[in-house]
């Protein structure tokens, strides 16, 4: 099932690399004329700031910077001017955020220091197969968000509250068959009872901080699908060829949107209507809902492969992109104003994947920070913990949530 999901999601993104055809392997010979004819090989220069006289770290960061630039350069030259640029933007975001080892047969052409900056020029090859592996890795990490479905339903005139509606079950069946994960229906029902006020907010698409904490931390839901579904009678039809059997005709209209729980942003929204026929009213309504959902979510083709519809395609694209710039909230205590400024600078420049650190207010020696990070909170926590000592700080994480950390810090030098 996992393999099937990767294939499904890869269908969404891997078209980016059709034009990147793999060239023949190139030996590390800077004088070789072959590099002039291999479109997948080239040179780039990266740089990094030296902190605490740690030139080794600066050299590594400069090398990573050069690799990222080379990947973007090779891909840019390959697909520039084509309709693939929309996907290229997503890939650029992934490449800039993480070092996936996309560059092979790397040679250091030159390395040097200018003041507090360290420079490295590399030559390497960007192979299509390696890039595809990187996309699969990104999809494994970010392309399989856990869903919760909350759909208000009017089913043949009867109102069904979110938690266990026919629409919700069909959504989970269609998506679940391709490997997507969902919060267990029993847990959703339990939350609807015990956390009624917060869950009602979620049903309306209001992902406030308390709702965000409940869904992410307690339920593990990263994306919620909310909306309404309604089935109505369209009359009946007599099929003469089937012994004058009277068929019930029902229509279903579904209006739903998908929301990124980390940010509260709407990832996609849509509205679809479809009919359903059966000799029983209830089954006809189910068929109508299922037909509408297949327009929204996607369906299997003649070869049995799941083809995602635009709604699902958009969710995955936007979620993968957003995952490379997540907001992590940090409550930190123990640092003076000057120490906090240094701590922010250290995180910005020494923790890989950090794009920005924003101070959101302080009270004495306690402060709130927002870190824009390419990855998950535990990735950031691991990276920070591994580098804290070299940054000159002793940190103690007292609480770790999917989008929030509470910690104390102490300057050690």
φ, ψ dihedrals at 154, nearest 5° = -115, 105
Q: Is the pLDDT of residue 83 over 90?
A: no
User: In percent, how much of the chain has pLDDT > 90?
Assistant: 37
Strand partners, 276: 250
Q: What is the pTM assigned to this prediction? A: 0.70
Q: Is the pLDDT of residue 103 over 70?
A: yes
pLDDT at 313: 84
- Topology of the domain covering 147-322: Rossmann fold (3.40.50)
pLDDT at 303: 78
Q: With bands split at pLDDT 50, 70 and 90, how would you rate the model's confidence at 143? A: low
Chain centroid, CA 20 distance in Å: 24
What's the rounded Cα separation, in Å, for the pair 100 and 19?
Answer: 20
Say if residues 375 and 323 touch (Cβ distance below 8 Å): yes
Which among 63-67, 78-82, 381-385, 407-411 has the top mean pLDDT?
A: 407-411
pLDDT at 410: 93
Going from N- to C-terminal start, the domains of the chain cover: 2-142, 147-322, 325-411
Beginning with the edge strand found earlier in the chain, give each strand of the sheet holding 41-49 in spatial order.
41-49, 117-126, 103-114
Q: Is the pLDDT of residue 308 over 50?
A: yes
CATH of 325-411 given 3.40.50, 3.30.70, 2.60.40, 2.60.120: 3.30.70
In terms of pLDDT, which residue wins out, 372 or 303? Answer: 372
Tokens of 405: 């950390």
pLDDT at 18: 34
The position carrying tokens 């901080």 is 209
Which among 65-79, 82-96, 197-211 has the top mean pLDDT?
A: 197-211
CATH code, residues 2-142: 3.30.1660.40
Q: Is the pLDDT of residue 82 over 50?
A: no
pLDDT at 383: 87
pLDDT at 274: 94
Say if residues 170 and 293 touch (Cβ distance below 8 Å): yes
Q: With bands split at pLDDT 50, 70 and 90, how would you rate the model's confidence at 21? A: very low
Strands (E), 240-316: 245-260, 266-278, 298-300, 306-308
Q: What is the pLDDT of residues 242-262, one digit of tens each?
A: 454 678 889 999 999 999 998
Q: With bands split at pLDDT 50, 70 and 90, how would you rate the model's confidence at 391? A: confident
What is the chain's percent helix, strand, coil content, to nearest 5?
A: 45, 35, 25
Which of 63-72, 88-97, 269-278, 368-377 is the least confident region? 88-97
pLDDT at 37: 40
In terms of pLDDT, which residue wins out, 120 or 161? Answer: 120
- CB neighbour burial string for 313-324, b if at least 16 within 10 angstroms, e if fewer: bbbbbbbbbbbb
Q: Is the dihedral of CA 73, 79, 81, 84 positive or negative?
A: negative
pLDDT at 17: 36
């Amino acid at each position: 099932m996992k393999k099937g999901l990767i294939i499904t999601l890869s269908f969404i993104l891997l078209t980016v690399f059709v034009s990147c055809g793999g060239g023949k392997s190139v030996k590390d010979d800077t004088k070789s004329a072959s590099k002039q004819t291999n479109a997948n090989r080239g040179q780039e220069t990266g740089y990094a700031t030296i902190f605490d006289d740690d030139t080794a770290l600066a050299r590594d960061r400069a090398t990573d910077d050069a690799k990222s630039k080379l990947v973007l350069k090779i891909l840019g030259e390959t697909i520039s001017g084509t309709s693939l640029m929309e996907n290229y933007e997503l890939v650029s975001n992934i490449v800039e955020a993480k070092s996936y080892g996309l560059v092979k047969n790397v040679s250091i052409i030159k390395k040097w220091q200018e003041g507090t900056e360290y420079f490295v020029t590399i030559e390497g090859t960007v192979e299509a197969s390696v890039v595809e592996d990187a996309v699969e890795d990104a999809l494994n990490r970010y392309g399989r968000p856990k869903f919760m479905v909350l759909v208000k339903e009017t089913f043949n005139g009867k109102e069904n509250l979110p938690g266990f509606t026919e629409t919700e079950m069909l959504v989970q069946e269609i998506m679940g068959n391709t490997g997507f994960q969902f919060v267990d229906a029993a847990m959703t029902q339990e939350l609807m009872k015990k956390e009624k006020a917060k869950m009602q907010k979620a049903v309306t698409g209001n992902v406030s901080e308390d709702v965000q904490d409940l869904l992410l931390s307690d339920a593990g839901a990263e994306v919620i699908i909310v909306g309404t579904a309604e089935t109505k009678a369209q009359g009946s039809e007599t099929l003469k060829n089937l012994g004058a059997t009277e068929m019930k005709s029902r229509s279903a209209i579904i209006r739903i949107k998908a929301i990124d729980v980390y940010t509260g942003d709407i990832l996609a929204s849509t509205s679809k209507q479809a009919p359903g026929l059966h000799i029983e009213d209830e089954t006809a309504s189910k068929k109508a809902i299922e037909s509408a959902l297949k327009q929204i979510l996607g369906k299997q083709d003649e070869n049995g492969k799941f083809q995602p519809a635009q709604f699902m395609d958009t969710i995955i694209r936007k979620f993968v992109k957003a995952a490379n710039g997540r907001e992590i909230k940090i409550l930190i205590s123990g640092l003076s104003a000057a120490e906090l400024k240094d701590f922010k600078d250290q995180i910005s420049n020494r923790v890989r994947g950090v794009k920005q650190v924003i101070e959101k207010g302080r009270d004495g020696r306690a402060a709130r920070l927002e870190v824009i990070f390419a990855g998950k909170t535990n990735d950031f926590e691991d990276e920070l913990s591994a580098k804290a000592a070299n940054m000159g700080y002793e940190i103690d994480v007292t609480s770790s949530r999917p989008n929030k950390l509470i910690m104390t810090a102490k300057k050690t030098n």
